[in-house]
Amino acid sequence: MLIKGRATQEGTAAYRRRFVELADNFRVVQGFSTSSLGVGTYLGEADGATDRVYEQALSAALRCGLNFIDTAVNYRFQRSERAVGRTLAALISTAEVSRDEILIATKGGYPAFDGEMPADPRRWFEERYVRPGIIGEGDLIDGHCMAPRYLDTMIETSRANLGLETIDIYYLHNPEAQLSRLERSEFLTRMRRAFELLETKAREGKIGVYGTATWNGYRVEPHDRFYLSLSELEGIAREVGGPGHRFRAIQLPYNLAMTEAVAAQNQVLANETGSVVRVASALGIDVFASAPLLQGRLARGLPPFIAEVLGGLSSDAQRAVQFVRSTPGIGVALVGIKSITHLDEIVELARRPPAPPEQFAKLFRQSQS
């Protein structure tokens, strides 16, 4: 039985009011009150021990004022989605949280094994995806697929894993991967078909809004083969979904070492160039930042000037995340949390306000030099 409903403005506002000590942690994204720090579920082994650690951390996070969870069907062979699902079911059943208070995002694009690596991966893939016609000839490029029938299947798989009637944000995962072998015109045709399917799923109430979660596409320059034009994709969404289309979210890595989301003037809108954050804001698209710690590489050993600018924080991990959540135009910083100790450090940061604009601007300037 799937949990009915989805995040609402009223529900997320009620959640926010329960955490008065975290008033500065919340912000409004697409009308929802969401924590500026979200929980990511990418890292870790595909085993039961890691599942239990995730469930403990997710449960504690939702009790502590973090109401945004990000996952993907392929993370840890579907186990991350299932850990999220079990956590939500347990907390909702005991009325510790309600469905309308929490935002859940997941992704599809990479075919996922089922819980573990099969003994014969090629045979498993053939039986699971190819023979039923879920993935057809030419659909799979460098391990990536965005054919409508495949995406439809993955949405249903994610809904079952998460135990949710409606997924709040559904991302097309790294679509730029297909540009390794496709001409751009064919790529855009495939994006149109994918967006048509996602608009249909939104009308059916199976997803709320959709977007693209990328690694390179929005960070590279327009001449790069893997470049994504946000205004071009929004134009496709407008053509297939009208002015009320549901293409409303993008995700990309942004951190002290990867500042292109703000620094790169690589997007064009109405004949003017700007950063992807600026153009997204103009188009009514929210930006979610992945990898604020760059998989732990920014959690220690930062240059001393960062601690000088961001005084009062207790660790480099907090400083790195504070930089991301304080960036104008960034909706949520998605932090991979697998332990209560790590969660405690992030909740401590959530009790503090983001860096004021002048402090952030100084830090950003120094980080670029």
Q: Give 114-173 pLDDT, tens digit per residue.
A: 999 999 999 999 999 999 999 999 999 999 999 999 999 999 999 999 999 999 999 999
Distance of CA 45 to the CA centre of its chain: 20
Q: How many structural domains comprise the chain?
A: 1
pLDDT at 18 over 90: yes
Q: Which residues of 29-59 are buried (b: 16+ CB within 10 A; e: fewer)?
A: bbebbbbbbbbbbbebebeeebbebbbbbbb
Is residue 4 assigned to a domain?
no
- Both tokens of residue 254? 């942004």
| 162, 104 Cβ separation under 8 angstroms | yes
- Find residue 209's DSSP bridge partners: 169
Residues 6+ apart with CB under 8 A from 120: none
* Residues in the chain, overall count: 369
Share of the chain above pLDDT 70, in %: 100
3-state helix, strand, coil in the chain (%, to 5): 45, 20, 40
Q: Mean pLDDT, the chain, as a whole number?
A: 96
User: What CATH number is attached to the domain comprising 232?
Assistant: 3.20.20.100
Instruction: Give the ranges where 204-353 is alpha helix by DSSP (H).
Output: 230-241, 260-263, 276-283, 304-309, 316-325, 340-350
**Domain assignment present for 219:** yes
- What does the pLDDT read at residue 180? 97
Contacts of 194 (CB under 8 A, 6+ apart): 146, 147, 148, 151, 172, 175
Give a yes or no: residue 1 inside a domain. Answer: no
Domain membership flag for residue 310: yes
Query: Over the stretch 171-196, which tens digit does the pLDDT of each residue have?
Result: 999 999 999 999 999 999 999 999 99
The answer to whether residue 37 sits within a structural domain is yes
Confidence band of 289 (pLDDT split at 50, 70, 90): very high
**d(Cα 33, Cα 249) in Å, to the nearest integer?**
15
Residue 144, SS3 per DSSP? strand
Q: List 32's β-bridge partners, or say none.
A: 29
Pair 261, 289: CB distance under 8 Å: yes
Residue 3 lies in a domain: no
Please give the structure tokens belonging to residue 259: 């500042």
Residue 37 and residue 335: Cα distance in Å, rounded?
7
92: in domain = yes
Structure tokens at 93: 């059943």
The average pLDDT across 350-364 equals 94
pTM: 0.97
208 pLDDT above the threshold of 90: yes
Q: For residue 224, is it within any domain?
A: yes
Spatial contact of 351 and 321, defined as CB atoms under 8 Å apart: no
The predicted-structure confidence for 273-284, as pLDDT tens digits, reads as follows 999 999 999 999
Residue range of the domain that includes 271: 9-368
Span between the terminal Cα atoms of the chain, in Å? 54
Q: What is the dihedral of CA 40, 43, 46, 47, to 10 degrees?
A: -80
